[in-house]
Structure 1
């Protein structure tokens, strides 16, 4: 992925080594900035190029939020690595809900460890209805919508063979209405899995002077 793409910001979930490993990876990728949520009990790194205007906004045990400049726009980017238990994920939904960004452009991405519905899995056990319901309630409450995507949306595989093999869409990108007004062609690309059980994700932005048509919205 590093050789094929030149991202300005990179997030690594569950690196299996301590923060000392992040420094080596930063040097390898020629990235000057970085933050880990290991001190909050998390397993998430976020790194960026030296020439990027990045400010760390918030770190929790399940997320890291940075503020970035894209041309003349400030964008809040939240990277998520959610816990496996839906009880633990309630804390994530609470933390993200308290960050309501108003008119600030906001994009939330990566591993939510839960799906919208059973149509987002192949094989494996059905997810708890209460867990899927709480995820959808969070998305609606903060006014986020799905970004367009390409590639195989079944972003996670358990690595087993035969009848016990299963896939699920645990990884996604969500954006708010303000973001879509200036970046209507944001695109999430699911890349081929390699050594990880999750697919790498690439999110590209293409700012345009004007948007076309109405942006998606939800109301209650």
Structure 2
């Protein structure tokens, strides 16, 4: 199914490149175990920025030991805003965003007495746009922690992988009287998720709407083009 092509080891991550035989694509997976020390995590952020320059389809998961927003933590001792900003800047520089998640809201708890207990979202699964395009049906389920203080992350990818045909935009679609309304309605469909996921989902909705428009108004277009090409060849001969 997959072949390991290369491995990159850092004190806070393991980065692996695989050859996915079904799609014949090289995919990159990075496993994270972030330091408890904010200064040491700066080295992790720099490493991720370097990896981002060398990958196409990329998914990254694990314990980052930092939240991306103050609302991702409940309890005493609020997180450092400076460290949160450093984490978010790394994600922005590396073109990474959270995958859609289901299940538990927080992934770690200190398991102390209720009055001093802390809940945080320290574990997460991120991906870049290339991953979303190639594997759009990737979902993450945050499972109950059980006896551990961390919740397991279950990543599921569409089982039956299909290589999709390249989508090409045709200018003739704009000749349709209801072209503008079709595109607007598809774009305005409500979508939940991260900013990157919303953009990807909206573009996907517009794509499906344009395909329906093509079938309705231009279903015989390929045949007409073929006939014209054959006629041109006859004339040239």
Q: TM-score if structure 1 supplies the norm length?
A: 0.70
Q: Residue 77 of structure 1 contacts residue 106 of structure 1 at CA under 8 Å; is this kept in 2?
A: yes
What is aligned with 1:193? 145
What is aligned with 2:200? 215
Cα drift, residue 52 of structure 1: 3.9
> Radius of gyration: which is bigger?
2
**Structure 2, unpaired ranges of 5+:** 168-185, 188-198, 202-237
Separation in 2, partners of 1:114, 1:208? 36
Q: Residue 78 of structure 1 contacts residue 108 of structure 1 at CA under 8 Å; is this kept in 2?
A: yes
Separation in 1, partners of 2:6, 2:62? 18
CA RMSD for the aligned pairs?
Answer: 2.1
What is aligned with 2:79? 127
Q: Residue 28 of structure 2 contacts residue 55 of structure 2 at CA under 8 Å; is this kept in 1?
A: no
Are 2:70 and 1:85 aligned?
no
What is aligned with 1:139? 91
How many aligned residue pairs are there? Answer: 166
- Indicate the SS of the match to 1:98: helix
Are 2:138 and 1:153 aligned?
no
**Corresponding residue to 2:127 among 167, 175, 191:** 175
Moved more, 126-135 or 116-125: 116-125
Moved more, 199-208 or 76-85: 199-208
Moved more, 151-160 or 97-106: 97-106
Q: Residue 5 of structure 2 contacts residue 19 of structure 2 at CA under 8 Å; is this kept in 1?
A: no
Question: Superposed, which structure 2 residues align to 1:59-78 within 5 Å?
Answer: 59-70=9-20, 71-72=22-23, 73-78=25-30
Cα drift, residue 90 of structure 1: 0.1
**Structure 1, unpaired ranges of 5+:** 1-50
More strand by share: 1
What is aligned with 1:28? none
Separation in 2, partners of 1:178, 1:96? 16
Cα drift, residue 74 of structure 1: 1.6
Question: Superposed, which structure 2 residues align to 1:13-92 within 5 Å?
Answer: 52-70=2-20, 71-72=22-23, 73-92=25-44
Cα drift, residue 209 of structure 1: 4.3
Separation in 2, partners of 1:100, 1:79? 14
What is aligned with 1:40? none
Cα drift, residue 117 of structure 1: 1.2
- CA deviation profile, 1:105-133 (whole Å, cap 9, x unmatched): 00111100000111101113110010000
Q: Residue 190 of structure 1 contacts residue 199 of structure 1 at CA under 8 Å; is this kept in 2?
A: yes
